[in-house]
């Protein structure tokens, strides 16, 4: 059986061959119409599919939501949000529009920040009892993801909860039932959940994050209204911005779609996360350019509408990119970092439970991760470092990972990010549990350009204990 190192060398040689055949700007993608192997013997995929929600962008666009629901013929609408947001302008604007347009609605404001299977099930029960014909989700990824799950299971009332949950934790069954229209109104600039068919939650009994991934559950429409970002406190802006940053970096450096296996026997089995591809690449790179220009400004000045508006766009751009290409190790490793939280409570988050914000849990491992993955696609790592501000004129290609890692550390230091996993309560003694929590995340970890062993994961967590 081939070792991880041998597999890495084979993948590296394949990439060299691909680049020799095609010197296009996207480096590793070739555009042959033919699959890599004969139809009778395909082991890797030969196609990718772009699935995104309709997106409407503009300051004040939220006030159109009532007209949209009226145009859909909605008679009984579920508005989902959390208790903090329920008292803030974004929800009030939505409710005013619903009332003005004669839309009957009920409010569910019990969304949990960083949802769990328990909180998902509570929202699902509410949705089943309400017999709603449309949904509106107002909030960050927690609210939008909760609403996706509620819509799905209310539309498939006889399904068990684990039926649609990603394997190996759940059964990972494809979604074949029609769901109701869902309009997402994002109030943070991070998850890109308004564009994707992914809903993430903490599975409490295993203390790991997992989710549901299907293009069938993506919102019908995302109303991206930059006015909603003005209420966000600084740490929320920073942490959600780190999610955008890692969405873009991971999707751009993910395993190419034509190297992902297995090849689906039916299109419905093609995963939402398919590997890097020429279309996702465009959105991911543009998201990185916006992050490089505007993230620090958006954090430092809550009244900088230009910066916060652009970060709101970057979130959607990166969502389009990773929603189809996928993410890899930063996200796979982040799930146990969030799920095994001890006492850490992030500043600016009004919650009654320990919480490592998703974007923070993702970005803390990024310097170690991209140092590790760079040997497989060094050109892309160096390119992204340059986009993020690194001087790469004299950089050697073999140092691409170190250059990107140093660039990320500078961004994190400038934005006053906690000094690694140790600063949020973890120690070397926790590494086995963190690795154990990462192993079930094969849906994303297998998209890393470099395969990883348990020993590799241990080393990555250890390297992430301290950043500076």
Q: What is the pLDDT of residues 412-425, one digit of tens each?
A: 999 999 999 999 99
Q: Which of 2-16, 106-120, 225-239, 318-332 has the lowest mean pLDDT?
A: 2-16
Average pLDDT over residues 207-221: 92
The H or E element containing residue 87 is none
* Residues 247, 261: Cα–Cα separation, whole Å: 21
pLDDT, residue 6, reads: 52
Strand ranges (DSSP E) for 60-197?
77-80, 105-108, 134-139, 182-186
* Residues 385, 75: Cα–Cα separation, whole Å: 50
* Residues 16, 19: Cα–Cα separation, whole Å: 5
Average pLDDT over residues 210-233: 94
* Residues 61, 154: Cα–Cα separation, whole Å: 28
Can you tell me whether residue 282 is helix, strand or coil? helix
With contact defined as beta carbons under 8 Å apart, do 195 and 323 qualify?
yes
pLDDT band at 429 (very low <50, low <70, confident <90, very high): very high
* Residues 362, 333: Cα–Cα separation, whole Å: 7
pLDDT band at 17 (very low <50, low <70, confident <90, very high): very low
Name residues whose C-beta falls within 8 Å of residue 200's C-beta, 6 or more positions apart in sequence: 115, 141, 145, 209, 210, 211, 358
Would the pLDDT of 34 be above 90? no
Radius of gyration (C-alpha) of the chain in whole angstroms: 21
Q: Are strands 208-213 and 198-203 parallel, antiparallel or unpaired?
A: antiparallel
pLDDT, residue 19, reads: 45
With contact defined as beta carbons under 8 Å apart, do 98 and 142 qualify?
no
Would the pLDDT of 316 be above 60? yes
Would the pLDDT of 457 be above 80? yes
Backbone torsions φ then ψ of 450, nearest 5 degrees: -120, 125
Average pLDDT over residues 234-245: 96
Task: Tell which wins on pLDDT, 87 or 18.
Answer: 87
Closest C-alpha among 314, 253, 251 to residue 287: 314
Can you tell me whether residue 192 is helix, strand or coil? coil
Closest C-alpha among 116, 139, 283 to residue 222: 139
With contact defined as beta carbons under 8 Å apart, do 138 and 92 qualify?
no
Q: Which of 41-50, 294-303, 433-442 has the lowest mean pLDDT?
A: 41-50
* Residues 85, 91: Cα–Cα separation, whole Å: 7
With contact defined as beta carbons under 8 Å apart, do 105 and 81 qualify?
no
Average pLDDT over residues 297-322: 95
* Residues 360, 349: Cα–Cα separation, whole Å: 13
* Residues 253, 321: Cα–Cα separation, whole Å: 11
* Residues 356, 365: Cα–Cα separation, whole Å: 13
Angle, vertex CA 449, rays to CA 448 and CA 450, nearest 5:
90
Would the pLDDT of 88 be above 80? yes
Q: What is the pTM of this model?
A: 0.87
Q: Which sign does the torsion angle of CA 51, 56, 58, 59 carry? A: negative
b/e string for 37-56 if b means 16 or more Cβ within 10 A? eeeeebebbeebeebbbebb
What Å distances lie between residue 377 and 81, 90, 332, CA to CA? 41, 42, 19
Strand ranges (DSSP E) for 7-63?
54-57
Would the pLDDT of 315 be above 60? yes
Average pLDDT over residues 375-384: 97
Give the other-Cβ count within 10 Å of 7's Cβ: 13
pLDDT band at 39 (very low <50, low <70, confident <90, very high): very low
pLDDT, residue 208, reads: 80
* Percent with pLDDT over 70 in the chain: 91
String of DSSP letters for 207-254:
TEEEEEE-GGGS-SEEEE-GGGGGG--HHHHHHHHHHHHHHHHHHHHS
* Residues 345, 367: Cα–Cα separation, whole Å: 23
């Amino acid at each position: 059986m081939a070792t991880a190192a041998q597999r890495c060398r084979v993948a590296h040689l394949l990439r060299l061959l691909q680049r020799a055949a095609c010197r296009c700007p996207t480096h590793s993608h070739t555009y042959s119409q033919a699959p890599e192997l004969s139809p009778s013997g395909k082991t890797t995929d030969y196609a990718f599919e772009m699935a995104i929600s309709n997106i409407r962008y503009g300051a004040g666009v939220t006030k159109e939501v009532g007209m949209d629901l009226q145009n859909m013929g909605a008679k009984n609408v579920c508005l989902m949000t959390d208790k903090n947001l329920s008292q803030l302008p974004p929800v009030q604007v939505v409710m005013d529009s619903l009332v003005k347009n004669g839309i009957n609605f009920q409010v569910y404001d019990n969304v949990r920040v960083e949802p769990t299977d328990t909180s998902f099930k509570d929202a699902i029960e509410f949705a089943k009892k309400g017999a709603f014909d449309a949904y509106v989700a107002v909030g960050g990824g927690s609210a939008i993801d909760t609403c996706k799950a509620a819509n799905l299971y209310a539309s498939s009332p006889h399904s068990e909860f684990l039926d649609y949950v990603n394997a190996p934790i759940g059964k990972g069954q494809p979604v074949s039932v029609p769901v109701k229209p869902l309009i997402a109104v994002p109030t943070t600039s991070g998850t890109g959940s308004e564009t994707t068919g992914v809903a993430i939650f903490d599975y409490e009994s295993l203390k790991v994050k997992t989710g549901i991934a299907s293009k069938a559950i993506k919102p019908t429409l995302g109303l991206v209204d930059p006015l909603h970002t003005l209420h966000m406190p600084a740490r929320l802006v920073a942490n959600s911005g780190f999610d955008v940053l890692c969405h873009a970096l991971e999707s751009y450096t993910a395993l190419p779609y034509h190297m992902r296996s297995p090849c689906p026997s039916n299109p419905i089995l093609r995963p939402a996360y398919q590997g890097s591809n020429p279309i996702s690449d465009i959105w991911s790179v543009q998201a990185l350019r916006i992050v490089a220009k505007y993230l620090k400004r958006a954090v430092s000045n809550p009244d900088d509408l230009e910066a916060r508006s652009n970060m709101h766009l970057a979130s959607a751009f990166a969502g389009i990119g990773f929603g189809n290409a996928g993410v890899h190790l930063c996200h796979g490793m982040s799930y146990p970092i969030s799920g095994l939280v001890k006492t850490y409570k992030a500043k600016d988050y009004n919650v009654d439970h320990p919480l490592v914000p998703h974007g923070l849990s993702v970005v803390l491992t990024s310097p170690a991760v991209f140092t590790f993955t760079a040997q497989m696609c060094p050109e892309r790592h160096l390119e992204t470092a340059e986009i993020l501000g690194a001087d790469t004129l004299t950089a050697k290609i073999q140092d691409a990972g170190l250059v990107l890692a140093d660039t990320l550390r500078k961004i994190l230091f400038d934005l006053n990010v906690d000094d690694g996993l140790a600063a949020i309560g973890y120690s070397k003694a926790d590494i086995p549990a963190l690795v154990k929590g990462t192993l079930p995340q094969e849906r994303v970890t297998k998209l890393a350009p470099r395969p990883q062993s348990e020993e590799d994961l241990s080393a990555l967590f250890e390297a992430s204990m301290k950043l500076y």
